[in-house]
Amino acid sequence: MLNPQAVGKGKEQYEMYRMKVGRKMMAKCQYDYRHVNGELFSCVAPTLEAARAKRDNWLANRAN
């Protein structure tokens, strides 16, 4: 299990898991990223790459 409080500034942590939806098993990625200012971004996505894309979008929106 992830501990968001343990994520250092500018660092990420993630955990892959599988969950059953109906008869299907689906892979998911729980992802946490702590910005250098200390703000935490957290999401669930199908892959690590998708989670990082969400993070990048979040970062881009913060800059505007």
Q: What is the pLDDT of residues 9-30, one digit of tens each?
A: 999 999 999 999 899 999 999 9
More confident residue, 19 or 5: 19
* pLDDT beyond 70 at 64: no
CA pair distance 15, 1, nearest whole angstrom: 8
The pLDDT > 90 percentage for the chain reads: 83
* pTM metric for this prediction: 0.87
Give the Cβ contact number of residue 30 at 10 Å. Answer: 17
Phi, psi of 7, rounded to the nearest 5 degrees = -80, 120
The mean pLDDT of 27-53, rounded to a whole number, is: 96
How many Å apart are CA 3 and CA 58, to the nearest integer? Answer: 21
